[in-house]
Structure 1
Amino acid sequence: MLHVNKINIEGYDFLTYEVELPKTTLFIVSYEKVGYIMCAALDIDFFNNSEKLRARKIIAGRAEGVRSIEQLLEAPLAKVTVACDRLGIKPGMIGKDALVLMAKSLEK
């Protein structure tokens, strides 16, 4: 089953996705066309190690050990894509703080 909701963080609207799969659930929070954070099902190394994918400048971060959207927002990001660097998004940053930086990047 797929659940899609809208949440607001610091005045910015984000979409949340929960995808129920056998024995696991994927959690994703995205901001418009900028980027997203996701649970550990996201393979950041795949994005960073592929020249083709690095060229697409995908902005994404991964948190580990989360079991809900709320935990994803509060968890430190274990890994981020290379493209996150230009927004100031680094490993260890809390998920919701990374999302706010994504949102603010459209204001520039």
Structure 2
Amino acid sequence: MMDVKPIEVQGYRFVATHVALPKTNLLTISNDTGYIMCGALDITLLREQLADRGIIAARAVGVRTMQELLDGEVESCTQGAEAIGIVPGMSMRDALAKIGAAETQAKL
């Protein structure tokens, strides 16, 4: 099963995607600029092999629902995320606000 719906976080619009797989869930919240995701996100791959792409992404671990992802904190992130002020330990809502602000800035 897959569920995709628009959500708003701190005044910014995102798309929340939940993919139910056997014995696990994939959770993402994204816009055209970046995304946050559950522990399935391979930050090491993004930081090392795909660093040249400048991907803005952050990961939370131990989350099983969209609410837990939103209420979680950044466990790790990409260099692109760090460049806009996202750091480990930051709340995911604050990370999304930074991603939302970066998207707004890119449109100016």
TM-score category, normalised to shorter length: over 0.9
**What is the aligned partner in structure 2 of residue 2 from structure 1?**
2
> Within 2, Cα distance between the matches of 1:38 and 1:17?
10
Q: Show the 5 A alignment for 1:1-108.
A: 1-31=1-31, 33-50=32-49, 53-108=50-105
TM-score between the two structures when normalised by the length of structure 2? 0.93
Secondary structure at the counterpart of residue 15 of structure 2: strand
Unaligned residue ranges in structure 2 (runs of 5+)? none
Q: CA deviation at 1:106?
A: 2.7
Identity of matched residues, %: 41
- CA deviation vs aligned residue, 1:36-61 (integer Å, no higher than 9, x gap): 000000010111111xx111100101
Q: Secondary structure at the match of 2:75?
A: strand
Residues of 2 paired with 1:18 and 1:25: CA distance? Answer: 7
The Cα of 1:13 is off from its aligned counterpart by 1.1
User: CA offsets per residue over residues 59-98 of structure 1, 9 Å max, x none?
Assistant: 1011000011111011111100111111000011111110
Whole-angstrom CA distance in 1 between matches of 2:85 and 2:12: 18
Q: CA deviation at 1:107?
A: 3.0
Between the aligned partners of 2:23 and 2:66, the Cα distance in structure 1 is: 17
**Alignment check: 8 A CA contact 2:10 2:93 kept:** no
Structure 1, unmatched stretches of 5+, are none
Considering only aligned residues, what root-mean-square deviation do their CA atoms show, in Å?
A: 0.9
